[in-house]
Structure 1
Amino acid sequence: MPVRPPTKSWSSTLRLPRSSFPPRPQLADQSKYLKRCSDDLYEWQSRERSAQKPFVLHDGPPYANGSLHIGHALNKILKDIVCRVKVQLGRRVVYVPGWDCHGLPIEIKALEKQRENAKDGDTALDAIGVRRAARSLATKTVKEQMKGFREWGVMADWDKAWKTMDKSFEIKQLGVFQEMVKRGLIFRRYKPVYWSPSSKTALAEAELEYNEDHVSTAAYVRFPMVKIPESIQALLPEGKDLDAVIWTTTPWTLPANRAIAVHSELEYSVVKHEQFYLLIASSRLAQLEELLSNTTIPESAPAEDRSFEVLKTGILGEELIGSEYVNVLCGKEQEPQPVLHADFVSAESGSGLVHLAPGHGMDDYELCTRHEIKAVAPVDDLGRFTSAAVPDNPNAFLGKSVLEGGSAEILKYMGDKILFSHKYKHKYPYDWRTKLPVIIRATEQWFADVGHVKGDALQNLRKVKFIPQAGQARLESFVTGRSEWCISRQRAWGVPIPALYDEDGVAVLTDASVAHIISVIEERGIDAWWTDASDDSAWIVPGLEGNYSRGKDTMDVWFDSGTSWTQTDQQADVYLEGTDQHRGWFQSSLLTYTSASGKVGPPFKTLITHGFTLDQEGKKMSKSIGNVIAPREIIDGTLLPPAKLKKKGTGPVSQSLGPDALRLWVASSDYTRDVVIGQPVLQFNHNALLKYRMTIKMLLGSMHPSARTAPITKLDQIALVQLDAVMKEVATAYDNFEFYKGVNAINKWISTNLSAFYLEAMKDRLYCGDGGGVLEQIFHGLLRMLTPITPNLVEEAWDHRPEWMKEEVQIHPFHRTLDEPIITSECISKSETLILDLSWLLNANAAIKASQEEARANKKIGSSLECSVVLEFPVEEKDVKTPQQIFERYADELESIFVVSSVEINGPVDGPWKYSTTFDVPGGKATAWVLPPKEKKCPRCWRYVAPIEDELCERCEELVSVP
């Protein structure tokens, strides 16, 4: 006869969860988990799938000039998630990280460091000294950044990481340049470019920021006209001249004025103001009259000189074309200057006449070049006037900064030629590195001819998948609006433009000369361009007669990184960078690839862009504002308020959840727009990660090998169907690069389906029953979904799996694909019915919970097991399928599903108290009644199913009895 244990304490007979998995990561173990889930995984997939054509994610190289920031984290972790998803789909991934190492910011930083370390005030460095200092700084920064990336769990081929300052990279870059020379796409020209006086170099559009609050001194200026149509001349009193009125926000450019533009279809008027006769667009008369009426006129002035009188209107701009005027700043010997037509002249601003300075304006240059008007720019590299500003008075502005008082000096010099001046706030370009204003200045520069290749480039973009789709229009607009790309920079730290110059400064740049220079660089190294003697003939291409010197210009860093496609053997599957790279790396990569790769199509198949990181108030992060968040602060949890004390005197609990905290923030963000980061967002993700850990700990502690032989219940089938559904949803989201949707699906499933439904319903069976269920399948499914997002957590969970699982040969979650079936064949055959039934079961469950809450509020119950339930359905009709039949299919498990002691369908609603809630069923409403329990409480399982007080229920009696 079975013998019951001699004790009334039944805790020793329960299967309570037991696991070594810690509630928080243990610092001592993190390095081994990081290695396994990153370096080891990358090596495994490279080896095991070596025969496959790889999925290539080409790295947009970060700049090697500073510490890692939250933008780096968003970018690098997104790339890592993409790669991990592809590995999970069975692909072999190639991800080789790179670094952009040349350019002005590194050069400036290196020089600053040199000044800090200098003795006796000796801070001067020659070109090679600058290069050594810059290389040292870049090398140190690359090592530091690489260490940080690896600490975030980014897996990559770190041993093959490339840098734009590597000799092999530079040689390939020069090869691209040579190919463009061969195709006639590289030329030198004196033309206006963005020039940074603070950096003393030309800048590309991508190197600019725009200050919306820049304030300029604007002015209305009159230029005396010396040749006008006779019909207009007849309006003027004898001896009076007509003045063309222009408006400018850059009066410092007036010494370079060489023409005035009108629009042939605009109407113009002649007006008399004071003693002047002025030519103004008719649409601007009211504005000008208001402005000029505020100027001070002496009381002694004749009445006619105090008026603003319109003498003639309706003069078409085409009548004015060919007129001439003089600019007093150009000197007495200067020939009269022409009035031209320009499409860009507007009737909505200024005076309707535009001052053209071809040496200081892009549109001005193009227009004047067509009319064979030479550009001049009497401004030096530091943004100071040269002696050529005023030929008749060379010292007038010599050495004065055009940006610091230059406009005021010009206005003062021109005297009464200035009708009106005022402060004007507008959008103005700034050097993105020094944060200081730039100017437009004509200099001799090297350019890439974009106009000849942009048609092909735009055609190539039609073959690209854009995420988000809006990126296509943005990139196309930048390419369409560009015809030339200034690729030369006046710096020492970079790849040289391989040009030779004769004694007259005429450049030699041919396929043969570039090929020869590349061969010398391969032999001597690139520094030899600066260190070799100036007359070293080894650099001169054989057959070139005369004396030649090597140029000092270096290539634009966007040309450096834009040729990084030479590092891959095939078209990249994905380029992924911030949205600012539409005008930067995406564009330079597309243009150089189209120009020189010799291949049809773009360098990338899919182009993904992410937004900027903003603080919780929606402001862009900035050191000056003080709202910058470092990735380390998220990893170690210091941004979050201290957790509650574990117990008195132990101190606050560490909030550190390791790199997965940073990764989960990235994965849960909709990166296609600007991404907000702050304490509320981080706290939400912190709680989610803790929920993952608690769920995993519960699963690890409750999985038993005996569950494999236990029957699969309907509740188990429901859990498997729900698991299968969420895994498919997550797989689709991951495949569409919508990682945040995948995270949202996981979070919803854990909270709603797993924790609040299945695990809650399973506790009795797990702890007090046969220990069956489908926890093992759920464990594997959950880890597979989390693998790309929180790999450290997955590796840690796998390491803490039960010993009986470790003894088996099992496939690591990193090596399994997300689409491998996890649902049993039995469930597949019933899944459609289960899915349809589940919504009604959940409706009933919610109604029962609502009734229980009412009973709990009235102190009738505590635990949900302290009640019985009656489900009351509408009266059945004969031969009609009713909602009742749905619930009857699950009758033997309804107590478990609803976590109550008993459930009856259309049973008697009797008892000293009762509470009810209606719920939807097919075709109508049903009622969930909560009543007192019908039996006694079992002291072991706490269900009210025992026949006698303090006696075990039948199931527990059977389980605890021993032979």
Structure 2
Amino acid sequence: MLAPTRILRASWSSTLRLPKSAFPARPLPAANPEYLRRCTDELYAWQQNARSKQDTNAQDIETFTLHDGPPYANGPLHIGHALNKITKDVICRYELGQGKRVSYIPGWDCHGLPIEIKALQAQKKDVDAHTDPVSVREAARALAAATVEEQKKGFKEWAVMGDWDHAYMTMEPSFEIRQLQIFKEMFERGLIYRQLKPVYWSPSSRTALAEGELEYDENHKSLAAFVRFPVVLSDELRNGALSEIKDSLSIVIWTTTPWTLPANKAVAVHKGMDYAILQDPEHGNELVLIAASRVAHYQDMVGHEVMIIPTKLRGADLAGHLQYENPFQRANGLQPVLHADFVSDSSGTGLVHIAPGHGMDDYHVCTSLNIPAFAPVDDAGAFTEDAFPEHPELLQGLLVSDVKKTGSRAVLDYLERQDMVRAKHNFKHKYPIDWRTKQPVIVRATEQWFANVDGIKTESMKAIEGVNFIPETGRSRLESFIQGRSQWCISRQRAWGVPIPALYKQSEGKLEATMDADTIQHIIDVIKERGIDAWWTDPPEDPAWKPAHLSGTYIRGRDTMDVWFDSGTSWSLLPRNGNHPVADVYLEGTDQHRGWFQSSLLTHVATQQCDIGNVKAPYKMLITHGFTLDSDGRKMSKSLGNVISPAQIMSGELLPPLKRKKQKGARKDQPNDAAPQFDSMGADALRLWAASSDYTRDVTIGQPVLLSVNQALHKYRVTFKWLLGIFSLPTCPPPFTSFNTIRSELSIETDSVTLLSDKLARHRLTQVSQEVHAYYARYEFFKGINTINKYVFNDLSAFYFETLKDRIYTGSKHDCQTLQKVLGVIFYELLQMLAPICPILVEEVWDYLPETLRQNSIHPARATWTPLALASPPAEGQTTDISARQLDQYQEFIHTVGSAINTAQERLRAAKKMGSSLECDVVIGMDPRAADSHFDEFVGWGGSQKSEELAGLFVVSGFEVRNMNELDGLKAALEEEGVWCELETFKIGETERKVLLRKANGCKCPRCWRYVAEEPESLCGRCEEVV
């Protein structure tokens, strides 16, 4: 036997394999544009062009279509945009990894009031002024176009891939023409009509609003009042139920909108309700009539007691038998008291003031009785002279919905002078506001264009039965919006939009709307020829717009379509699935159940001429995400100072600045005037935040969340840097040229690795691969990321990498190359799992690979990703294979034994007896009377010893298995010899075991640092062979 080699310790470093890579700790800004181009434009173009050269049947590749809900082109990007667009992109990249061709065409919603207002404000023009529509459209178009380019640039910086060269905008001529054709189809089905009806009207925007454009102020305060009207009794009532009443009688109504009293046309009772007559001593013993159940409430409101006159009155006795006069409209004569089903005794007086021009329920009641709607309020929300024809100066021009309640106060002031007000008070309740201006809206009867939702409600409900929802609660939410809607006001009184194709005949100073299918098609043809702006720029009576079948003088209308109609027809861009255009996924915020999800469904269903069983929605799956909130769960706003921008996450400026290295020669007290540097991780930080979030709920964001995101990215980078170094070892090149080859070669069924640690690593990777794939397939990316992070931090960094460093750095070339294969599979699988989430990182890592590997392997973003397969149970007669179940047990054993070893090591370190874990040997104590076959097999008890392999597994110098009864004696003997040791117990199942840590029995090898050498400063046997 040769004598152990003795040589100076420093010289052994040249014999070690130390992984080195130029891969940087943080992304290099100079390289980012190239990586960004590769993982977005280049990747999208490649997969659109038949995916790869190996695809001989490219035409048979399944196409996955995610239809982009168009963001509004009126401002800079915010964090909500990031959550939305990145989640869409992650889905598309996952589906691309499943071998599909992805179709994602970004879009923008370019019409509507917010853009119009912002464009006018930029020109310092009064939004409320009667601005020339042509100049409004020019300014709005320019603003929208500039915003689209700005937002597009931001989306691209986030590594969102798509067909950017063919992005759609609702203001494009081709889109507008398709929209008008859909409008025509709906008209031909009888779903479009014009009518004088109460609609939500925004005085601040000067336009009608749809229900989807409303928000609600839960704490709105209205000026409410109890108002009496003297009544005239019919002969039947005076001679019947009220024969004992000789004095005059008044009815009392309660209203939260006194400004609507000039438009009053009737008072409603409920025929099944009991009513009482009260005598009021505070007002000359006048007699008033209210619901019997509301007497106590009435007394509380007027502030004094009243006397009940014994009578038996039902609403049926009153309806049609009482009349009264509206003091603001005396010329109209007496008005009726009638029955309405919606009257209740839950509030007020049980008598309801009816103004058909200011309420839909009122409108329906009056329409059935031929009582016309009347709304003496103009576009600005101010009274017209018709509000009080006898004294127009008292009300004309007064605003009805301003903060000061000017209109309501003026109405009540007049009524008080007429001794008609019995009480008034402030009333807090839920009230609709304009979702854009945040100002109160009113209900006002105007001539508007409507889509008949009732006519397609059944088909719409049927269509979404086959739609999948994430989360499932989205189904009931969308259903409730559809069920609760009977009509859709689609006309807007603004210039920036698609015109409603209606002509108006001029006759005797009046305008009469004209619309038929031929006229609509004629208008579409003229727009194709002249452009849509000609609708506004051509002379009003230009005959080119009038079809040949119409006679007389006509002018073009000025109403434009609701922007939800614009974006709601974007499904016309989709590829056709059978007879219908259908997208695989629509994904937007939860507020779009009342918006885009609904308008898309309604317009799509409205154009389908088929049996109800064959009606389809324009989407197979609806995904909704929540809102973004600050770390305290508050909505972000400038006033709160809690707005977080996507750029701040990318730059890292929300995190503590990086610590600067001291310059050589600088004094400790010398101030550092340089600008702070931040942990900038680029777009991948923003993307990892979005993908780590449970988007089905509201998503909070703050420094703790962002710190964890950056920590994960750093761990990824450190992991890849180390692996890249292993694949670049000059003295030990990898024994393979393609990652794709070793992935199949090292599958469990044909496993060529022999050491337990490598089998466990391969097994754990397989489990993670399957878990992540399953989560991604359900679009639960946050769960997939959580699994990846646990794997990288715990399984790889804290365990497996620690166990194999010795074999790589100091082991044989065969050991190293065996590990390179296992690590190659791990490396490539990690890249595939992260490709949808951090595409720039994946591109960067790939760029730092040795050229041979890079050229001969399929790029992980372009390869079809299928999860690795778990090990099969041993075949009959085989004993060498280890099943997945056994490997799971072994993982539990390692965790249990490892925890016991670590506990003992920490006590020894605290006592300053040891430092490195290699300074100790481990002795496991087993009890032959309580044998566990699986654990016995794991530690080699009763069979071949696996001491060296297990020592490497637990990163100690020696591993031994003994009878548990011997450990106490061994401990005592060691202590008597002055050798430090530590005993720890643990359990396998219900069986107690022991582990003894003792000072390593060998000498420290100067090359591998294990305490296994025979003599000081001499190499161990393995290092001797390797060297």
- TM-score w.r.t. length of structure 2: 0.88
- 2:795 pairs, out of 753, 759, 766, with 753
| Aligned match of 2:20 | 18
| Amino acid of the structure 1 residue aligned with 2:1008 | C
| Amino acid of the structure 2 residue aligned with 1:790 | C
**Partners in 2 of 1:804 and 1:948 — Cα distance?**
44
Q: CA deviation at 1:58?
A: 0.5
**Partners in 1 of 2:318 and 2:719 — Cα distance?**
81
**Partners in 1 of 2:211 and 2:630 — Cα distance?**
27
- 1:485 pairs, out of 477, 484, 488, with 488
**Partners in 2 of 1:474 and 1:749 — Cα distance?**
37
The one-character-per-residue Cα deviations of 1:216-264 (angstroms, maximum 9, x if unpaired) are 11111112222263488637652321x2222111110111111222233
The question of whether the paired residues in 1 share the 8 Å contact of 2:6 and 2:1018 is answered with: no
The question of whether the paired residues in 2 share the 8 Å contact of 1:282 and 1:313 is answered with: no
User: Which blocks of at least 5 consecutive residues in structure 2 are unaligned?
Assistant: 52-57, 577-581, 667-671, 737-751, 875-879
Matches within 5 A, 1:478-877: 478-503=481-506, 504-570=510-576, 571-598=582-609, 600-648=615-663, 652-703=676-727, 708=735, 711-770=753-812, 771=816, 772-773=818-819, 774-806=822-854, 808-819=855-866, 821=868, 830-876=883-929
| Aligned match of 1:276 | 286
Q: CA deviation at 1:713?
A: 1.8
**Partners in 2 of 1:959 and 1:646 — Cα distance?**
40
Q: Percent identity?
A: 51
Matches within 5 A, 1:860-899: 860-876=913-929, 881=933, 883-888=935-940, 891-899=947-955
Q: CA deviation at 1:824?
A: 8.8
- 1:316 pairs, out of 295, 314, 317, with 314
Query: Matched residue of 2:637: which SS?
Result: coil
The question of whether the paired residues in 2 share the 8 Å contact of 1:60 and 1:585 is answered with: yes
| Aligned match of 1:129 | 135
Q: CA deviation at 1:377?
A: 0.2
**Partners in 2 of 1:525 and 1:350 — Cα distance?**
55
Query: Matched residue of 1:906: which SS?
Result: strand
The question of whether the paired residues in 1 share the 8 Å contact of 2:105 and 2:162 is answered with: yes
The one-character-per-residue Cα deviations of 1:767-803 (angstroms, maximum 9, x if unpaired) are 2223242211111011111010111111111111234
Q: CA deviation at 1:482?
A: 0.7
**Partners in 2 of 1:166 and 1:618 — Cα distance?**
39
| Amino acid of the structure 1 residue aligned with 2:898 | N
The question of whether the paired residues in 2 share the 8 Å contact of 1:727 and 1:818 is answered with: no
The question of whether the paired residues in 2 share the 8 Å contact of 1:267 and 1:313 is answered with: no
Query: Matched residue of 2:856: which SS?
Result: coil
| Aligned match of 1:239 | 247
The question of whether the paired residues in 2 share the 8 Å contact of 1:611 and 1:674 is answered with: yes
- 1:439 pairs, out of 417, 439, 442, with 442
Q: CA deviation at 1:330?
A: 3.7
Closer/same/farther in 2, CA of residues 847 and 674 from structure 1, 3 Å limit: same
The question of whether the paired residues in 2 share the 8 Å contact of 1:225 and 1:324 is answered with: yes
The question of whether the paired residues in 1 share the 8 Å contact of 2:263 and 2:355 is answered with: yes
**Partners in 1 of 2:1021 and 2:869 — Cα distance?**
34
- Of residues 488-497 and 330-339 in structure 1, the stretch that sits farther from structure 2 once superposed is 330-339
Q: CA deviation at 1:726?
A: 0.6
- 1:250 pairs, out of 254, 257, 262, with 257
| Aligned match of 1:304 | none
Q: CA deviation at 1:569?
A: 1.8
The question of whether the paired residues in 1 share the 8 Å contact of 2:241 and 2:313 is answered with: no
The one-character-per-residue Cα deviations of 1:269-328 (angstroms, maximum 9, x if unpaired) are 22222333222223322222122126xxxxxxxxxxxx4112247633333322333243
The question of whether the paired residues in 1 share the 8 Å contact of 2:231 and 2:325 is answered with: no
| Aligned match of 1:299 | none
| Aligned match of 1:920 | 987
Closer/same/farther in 2, CA of residues 803 and 383 from structure 1, 3 Å limit: same
| Aligned match of 2:203 | 197
The question of whether the paired residues in 2 share the 8 Å contact of 1:164 and 1:170 is answered with: yes
**Partners in 2 of 1:916 and 1:225 — Cα distance?**
100
| Aligned match of 1:941 | 1008
**Partners in 1 of 2:683 and 2:502 — Cα distance?**
48
The question of whether the paired residues in 1 share the 8 Å contact of 2:4 and 2:1018 is answered with: no
| Aligned match of 1:287 | 297
Matches within 5 A, 1:86-105: 86-105=95-114
**Partners in 2 of 1:612 and 1:132 — Cα distance?**
33
- TM-score w.r.t. length of structure 1: 0.94
The question of whether the paired residues in 2 share the 8 Å contact of 1:98 and 1:162 is answered with: yes
**Partners in 2 of 1:926 and 1:697 — Cα distance?**
40
Closer/same/farther in 2, CA of residues 871 and 647 from structure 1, 3 Å limit: farther
**Partners in 1 of 2:587 and 2:881 — Cα distance?**
39
**Partners in 2 of 1:842 and 1:697 — Cα distance?**
27
RMSD over aligned Cα atoms: 2.3
Query: Matched residue of 2:330: which SS?
Result: coil
| Aligned match of 1:37 | 39
- Of residues 901-910 and 199-208 in structure 1, the stretch that sits farther from structure 2 once superposed is 901-910
The question of whether the paired residues in 1 share the 8 Å contact of 2:394 and 2:410 is answered with: no
Query: Matched residue of 2:87: which SS?
Result: helix
1:451 corresponds to 2:457: no
Closer/same/farther in 2, CA of residues 281 and 872 from structure 1, 3 Å limit: farther
The question of whether the paired residues in 2 share the 8 Å contact of 1:466 and 1:608 is answered with: yes
The one-character-per-residue Cα deviations of 1:567-613 (angstroms, maximum 9, x if unpaired) are 11231000000000000000000000000144731000000000111
Query: Matched residue of 2:933: which SS?
Result: coil
**Partners in 1 of 2:180 and 2:558 — Cα distance?**
15
Q: CA deviation at 1:40?
A: 0.8
The question of whether the paired residues in 2 share the 8 Å contact of 1:39 and 1:155 is answered with: yes
Closer/same/farther in 2, CA of residues 666 and 235 from structure 1, 3 Å limit: farther
Matches within 5 A, 1:350-369: 350-369=348-367
User: Which blocks of at least 5 consecutive residues in structure 1 are unaligned?
Assistant: 295-306
**Partners in 2 of 1:769 and 1:835 — Cα distance?**
28
**Partners in 2 of 1:238 and 1:268 — Cα distance?**
18
| Aligned match of 2:579 | none
1:60 corresponds to 2:69: yes
The question of whether the paired residues in 1 share the 8 Å contact of 2:767 and 2:870 is answered with: no
The question of whether the paired residues in 2 share the 8 Å contact of 1:612 and 1:675 is answered with: yes
- Of residues 673-682 and 831-840 in structure 1, the stretch that sits farther from structure 2 once superposed is 831-840
State the aligned residue count: 942
Q: CA deviation at 1:927?
A: 2.0
Q: CA deviation at 1:536?
A: 1.3
| Aligned match of 2:190 | 184
**Partners in 1 of 2:938 and 2:484 — Cα distance?**
65
**Partners in 2 of 1:839 and 1:722 — Cα distance?**
12
Q: CA deviation at 1:489?
A: 0.4
- 2:160 pairs, out of 149, 154, 165, with 154
- Of residues 831-840 and 784-793 in structure 1, the stretch that sits farther from structure 2 once superposed is 831-840
